[in-house]
Structure 1
Amino acid sequence: MFDDLHLDHILLTPGPTPIHPRAQQAMMRGMLGHMDPEVFKLNREIQDDLRVMYGTEPEAFTALLAGTGSLGMESGFANLVEQGDEVLVCANGSFGRRMAEMAARYGARVRLVTAHLGEAIRPEDVAAHLDGVQMVAVVHGETSTGVLNPVPEIAELVRSSGALLTVDAVTTAGMEPFHMERWGVDYAYTGAQKCLSAPPGLAPVAISERAFARYSARRTPTPLWYCDFEGLRDYWVEHTYHHTVPVNLHYAFHAALRAALEEGMEARQQRVGEVGSAILTALTPLGFSHYVKRPQDRLPTVLALRLPEGLDDAAVRRALRQREISVTGGLGPTAGVIWRLGLMGEAARPAPYRALMRALEDILGETGLVRRFDEALERHAAGASPVSV
């Protein structure tokens, strides 16, 4: 049931992820102009599908920014923050800190709510700092540490304050249910190369009607012309020229997003859980363990594992790279302490992780990793639908 696929270079990183076959095929089609009616038709379908993926209100504005997820992050602050605005940023890792830096560059007076590395932001700490805030910004899945922040609970607090809520959904949207309207999220973004397994270079965004109204009431023009919300809407809705979009990336993204929606977010979420559990079953006897202590704080799509004592992180990952397998270590304080295994999109399949287990058996001189991995998958399959390779 779990026969290996033919694999080229194996990406087990927190991004980018292996490109979905349908996206790879779509990217090969001939070039069309960015003002072609067929491209506008494609874009409308992308907008509709993004509303489904994000769980937006019916009239929410969705679009693709011609850049990676960091452009999605910056666009939110550029359009929704003005000089002197009070912005509360939840920072418990590298990407929360990046949010704070960007907000400050656009003139915000930044307040920080923090948590120790490997721990989630506490909603009560957010509640204590909401007075007078125009925006709250939080990373849903902190890629740098494998922590899942409690966005629904934070959103409930923010909703009653009148502040806008910006959510970095880079490692969550497209791999598990995301309920933008129900939760009360005003601006959300991700990167095409993460959960959707499309090529890098696009940032899918969703903007609530409330956020667009706040943007329209700005006292000063948006300082970032390239992603000005009005200019984006002119192109995506009115079909007037703003800038040249990467048409072939749009085709690839459309195919990858449609494949994800056809599979269903719940099925994708289950797939992540099953493969992640099998990885842990295989590696625990070697001394690997969860870096994030509380189960509810663990980000399913980025499995952060503390390394066994004595394991030479750099040497083992170098040996894996020689076998065409990429594994990512920690960032900053967690360098040499953890591995961050990506379980997004097409990476969350048994075949690539079986290849990792086989390689580790060879590099570490251990046995039983592949057997334990497959037995764990078999146990899951016996009680639920099989995990597709």
Structure 2
Amino acid sequence: MSDFDSDFEPARLLDPPPFPADRVAGLADRLARLIGASGDVLLVQAEAVVALEAVAASLGRPGVKAINIVTSPYGVWFGRWLRRAGASVVEIRAEAARPVSARAVAATLDAHPDAQLLAVVHAESASGIRNPLETILSLARERGVLTVVDAVASLGGHPFAADALGADVVVAGPQKALAGPAGISAVAVDSRAWAEIDRPDAPATSTLSLVDQKRLWLDAGRGALPGTPSPLELWALAAALDRVEAEGIDRIIDRHAEAAAAARDGLQALGLTPWAGPAEASHLVTAFAAPADVDAAFLLERLKAIDAEFSLGVGAGADRLIRLNHTGRRADPQVVHTMISALATALRR
């Protein structure tokens, strides 16, 4: 049995036409507009976790002190990558599967006035929470601290404008709210960040080297592609951006907000409590803890038999939560209604 739908022809994926360099530059510029960044945008031919590791490898080095906010496994990984690059890392660990408090960030910044870098995830699909990004970046900007924002889950699901927020480095992935391919990601870098990245001892000749891309692509006028990129991923990204621009990013954000509100209302109608309140919830997934008298694993098994997009949360504290996925094309109140109906049926059983 084929894993493909009967109407799909896998052979269509073979022998794709090349994707020219000028169109790659155009994709970067289109992503820059969505991110709200006036600086450079690099495309990384890999899922966004590789782009995040490249940022850590390119900014981390001996003598750098970084404040790393941990609200999911992704924050844990970013701290490890910074340490591996030689940086000194101070971690702010939020309560399990909860957002970090602005008070904790301010206190840590005040306790470490020599910190040069702060890293934070905007929205966490792992648990369905959202960190207070605007306040965090404002606190860092007041102190002249360089900032790295993981906006992989939030771009397209929440309002985001890198320049206005004061984010120096932003990592984005089109596979979430933008409903694009997972095998390519973007890194927006402003001039302040380049001053720290483009240095004589920067990692080079490496997949994790941002300075390689700067020298081989940006500094060369974006005329020739460095390496051998995958045309399939580039064509898929172009198609996704066409669809995003046709709908409009503001409408996409509104659609995610509407789906999240419908999910919260539906859970509450069933007597369940959403894990995160509206002020601290991600618009991409809505999570809840199964009632004490319900076997969560058994409930999830029944739910997944109806819709595979039900899943457990990821990471400490989130692994006991059940998530409703309303990301990307699923950000539709009708999809949410169907999931809530499935949940009601499973709970009755």
- Taking structure 1 as the reference length, the TM-score comes to 0.79
Contact 2:202–2:211 (8 Å) recurs in 1: no
Partner of 2:312: 329
Deviation at 1:140, TM superposition (A): 0.6
SS at 2:188 equivalent? strand
The one of 40, 44, 47 equivalent to 2:28 is 47
Relative to structure 1, the CA distance from residue 89 to residue 224 in structure 2 (aligned partners, 3 Å threshold; closer, same or farther) is farther
Please say if 1:32 is aligned against 2:12: no
Partner of 2:262: 278
Contact 1:165–1:187 (8 Å) recurs in 2: yes
Q: Distance in 2 between matches of 1:75 and 1:118?
A: 25
CA deviation map 1:257-314 (0-9, x unaligned) = 232233223222221222222223223233321212x532222222122222322222
The one of 172, 182, 186 equivalent to 1:204 is 186
Higher relative contact order (CA 8 A, sep 6+): 1
Deviation at 1:110, TM superposition (A): 0.4
Relative to structure 1, the CA distance from residue 241 to residue 249 in structure 2 (aligned partners, 3 Å threshold; closer, same or farther) is closer
* Total equivalences in the alignment: 336
Q: Distance in 1 between matches of 2:247 and 2:14?
A: 24
Relative to structure 1, the CA distance from residue 361 to residue 290 in structure 2 (aligned partners, 3 Å threshold; closer, same or farther) is closer
Relative to structure 1, the CA distance from residue 77 to residue 364 in structure 2 (aligned partners, 3 Å threshold; closer, same or farther) is same
When structure 1 is superposed on structure 2, of 341-350 and 357-366 the one drifting more is: 357-366
Q: Distance in 2 between matches of 1:85 and 1:178?
A: 28
Letter matched to residue 64 of structure 1: L
When structure 1 is superposed on structure 2, of 191-200 and 328-337 the one drifting more is: 328-337
Partner of 1:89: 68
Q: Distance in 2 between matches of 1:203 and 1:105?
A: 22
Relative to structure 1, the CA distance from residue 149 to residue 92 in structure 2 (aligned partners, 3 Å threshold; closer, same or farther) is same
Relative to structure 1, the CA distance from residue 231 to residue 219 in structure 2 (aligned partners, 3 Å threshold; closer, same or farther) is closer
Partner of 1:175: 157
Contact 1:302–1:343 (8 Å) recurs in 2: yes
Deviation at 1:147, TM superposition (A): 1.7
Q: Structure 1: which 5+ residue stretches go unaligned?
A: 1-7, 10-23, 367-389
Q: Distance in 1 between matches of 2:148 and 2:332?
A: 31
The one of 275, 279, 283 equivalent to 1:300 is 283
Partner of 1:17: none
Letter matched to residue 115 of structure 1: A
Contact 1:53–1:177 (8 Å) recurs in 2: no
Contact 2:205–2:212 (8 Å) recurs in 1: no
Deviation at 1:54, TM superposition (A): 0.6
* Aligned residues with identical type, % of pairs: 25
Deviation at 1:71, TM superposition (A): 0.9
SS at 2:20 equivalent? helix
Partner of 2:103: 124
The one of 120, 126, 136 equivalent to 1:144 is 126
Q: Distance in 1 between matches of 2:326 and 2:43?
A: 23
Partner of 2:238: 254
When structure 1 is superposed on structure 2, of 265-274 and 316-325 the one drifting more is: 316-325
Deviation at 1:29, TM superposition (A): 8.4
